[in-house]
Chains A and B, each alone.
Chain A
């Protein structure tokens, strides 16, 4: 069994409350950081840990912190991104719901390191009950003197507030989140300037994911070097994976990044295999935006090695034969699922969630959705498949924010790996309405091209 750093205590009775959490060793990192370390030392430990942003992009957290501008007399802010909305991802909700104090503890350490006296948690509005859990936990921490003025006699002041969103995936993009936090529409900002220079209310700001900030707690407690020993290569530490789709045991798992994808899907410790005794057809391992892979490429890389649950191994082969770790939303599809239909629901999602600010995304997402629906309903033409490819190509990389890419990639990957299935929908329109294409060749082992 892999080591757990975040969820180890998540199921201790009453861990949601300060007293129990504290009794179980909680808030040690706050004591250690505020009493024995300088803010820069905390940042240094996070750098050493190799912790990568857990929101999806995987950017090194310590580096992000060190970019924060520190002009005299200007407040700085830490904002935690809890707008978890990527289809397939529900790990942050789990963490906040079961062990809210872990996030608060991490936020105090991070706020200390960054010099933020007023930090925010931006949580998606639909998680209303989680917001209430967090607010209660914050109040408990305030009562215990972990938040407020002069925390633990260190002279450091910090308070945390929870800000609810109101239903907009785009607010998970950090600059859209800041706009939303300022009481505006969630339109992403043009970068540069980056939030580290001009963020919330024009002040230097760091935006980090819930899981990233929570991971600061074990990093401060045990040291960055110790954290970096876990995992593989540049994928240090543990990662929360939210597994869903056609598996026996959907849920949130904390994995050490040293197991294979096959083990994750089939072992009883994790997903427990494909539901109803069916066979694996495809998987989107990092949330809906990352490329879908057929079973054969998912379990083995194009070189024939076992694919591991690490940032590097999942992206092995680039977009041609690989995918991404993303946010850890692991969506599994069995042999009875239709890739075209699934891609259509994702296209519909991105059309619904596009902010409408820039033209390629506003117009292109809706266009892709319409074409995909036609193909799914047996009204497609062969040329539609190439048209889809061309549309996604013209959206990708040409938009203000990554939502354009996120909308383009699933369509691109579906066509790249499942073109047969798209063509079958076109050539067998009546079958497409009554049955699925099935597993076809998608699980057959690929021929490995060896170079002498």
Chain B
């Protein structure tokens, strides 16, 4: 992995948010950036590169990357449905959403469809309790889910392939 000059400039901007010598602080923002550039997940190579960019040891990066739930350490499907399961979403029927996705796509939490298009995950509270049930797809939230909305999201995901 190696960034172009343009990308390196963006990295410098992230690092510039912190005082001199505190470049390690940029690790989480940088890992978000590296993950995006690496097809949605963090390979060992990608993490080693992040360590190199910040002049820290690789283990410091592994420790952080494995701690936070937003970093994927395995390749992921093109569309990831992360359905919130915690209390308030449960009260508003998140179990039904997970069951409906299984009915439509045949995948249970943790599984990916055979065509590699959809991954279903369960998530813990995403801070959208008033708009439950909800799921996160990439950087965006889909809220007040119904069966119809899930149908539409599946369609949307299928279109991404083309």
Contact = CB atoms under 8 A, between A and B. Distances in A.
Judged by CB atoms under 8 Å, the answer to whether A and B touch is: yes
A153 to B, nearest CB: 25
A188 interface: no
Interface in A241-266: 242-246, 250-252
Given A90-B130, A244-B132, A166 B68 contact: yes
B76 to A, nearest CB: 14
Contacts of A251: 130
A180 interface: yes
Given A129-B140, A168-B68, A242-B130, A201 B87 contact: no
A402 to B, nearest CB: 17
B68 A85 contact: no
Contact of B28 (A129, A165, A345): A165
Contact of A185 (B29, B67, B136): B67
A87 B128 CA distance: 9
Interface in A152-178: 161, 163-169
Interface in A50-109: 75, 84-90, 93
A191 interface: no
A251 B56 CA distance: 44
A175 to B, nearest CB: 15
B92 A85 contact: no
A142 interface: no
A427 interface: no
A26 B115 CA distance: 52
Interface stretch (A33-41, A310-318, A329-337): A329-337
Contacts of A126: 70, 126-127, 136, 141
B91 to A, nearest CB: 5
A246 B68 contact: no
| Most chain B beta carbons < 10 A, residue from A166, A341, A355 | A166
Contacts of A355: 67
Given A181-B25, A337-B91, A345-B85, A243 B130 contact: yes
Contacts of A342: 87, 90-91
Contacts of A346: 86-87
B69 interface: yes
B54 to A, nearest CB: 8
B85 A166 contact: no
A169 B124 contact: yes
B47 to A, nearest CB: 13
B130 A164 contact: no
Contacts of A129: 139-140
A185 B64 contact: yes
B97 interface: no
Contacts of A243: 130
Given A87-B125, A245-B91, A163 B86 contact: no
A345 B32 contact: no
Nearest to A182: B25
Contact of A169 (B87, B90, B125, B131): B125
A124 interface: yes
Contact of B88 (A181, A184, A245, A348): A245
A288 B89 CA distance: 12
A124 B19 CA distance: 22
B90 A329 contact: no
B88 A87 contact: yes
A437 interface: no
10 contacts: A87-B129, A181-B25, A183-B24, A183-B28, A201-B22, A242-B129, A243-B130, A244-B88, A331-B91, A341-B90
Interface of A: 75, 84-90, 93, 118, 124-129, 161, 163-169, 180-186, 201, 242-246, 250-252, 284, 288, 329, 331, 333, 337, 341-342, 345-346, 348-349, 352-353, 355
Given A118-B19, A341-B90, 17 more contacts: A87-B87, A87-B129, A88-B129, A125-B28, A125-B32, A126-B126, A163-B28, A163-B29, A169-B124, A182-B22, A186-B67, A201-B19, A245-B92, A342-B91, A345-B87, A345-B90, A348-B86
Give the 9 A-B CB pairs with smallest separation, nearest first.
Answer: A166-B68, A167-B69, A183-B27, A167-B70, A250-B130, A183-B24, A244-B129, A87-B125, A161-B17
